[in-house]
Amino acid sequence: MKCVVDFEKCTGLGICESLAPEFFEVNDDGDLLLLKEDITDAELQEVEEAVAGCPTEALSIER
């Protein structure tokens, strides 16, 4: 499974970083960095929470 960011929609609000900090980090300029793409079964729940928590619906999981 892969984590996908739609950078057109993302405005760097950062909720994803607080829910799954190994995957997401907002940089100094306010842009989102995707730190890694591949999601293990153990990490799925936190990434799902990040997807659900994104106010701009910019995140998805490619299965």
Give the residues lining the site for another protein (CB under 8 A): 12-15, 17-18, 21, 25-30, 52-53, 55, 57
How many other CB atoms sit within 10 Å of the CB of residue 42?
Answer: 7
For the CB of residue 8, give the shortest distance to another protein in the complex, in Å: 13
For the CB of residue 39, give the shortest distance to another protein in the complex, in Å: 18
**Which of 37/57 has CB closer to another protein?**
57
Taking alpha carbons only, the member of 27, 22, 13 closest to residue 42 is 22
For the CB of residue 25, give the shortest distance to another protein in the complex, in Å: 7
Task: Please state whether 29 falls in left (phi above 0), alpha (psi between -120 and 50) or beta.
Answer: alpha
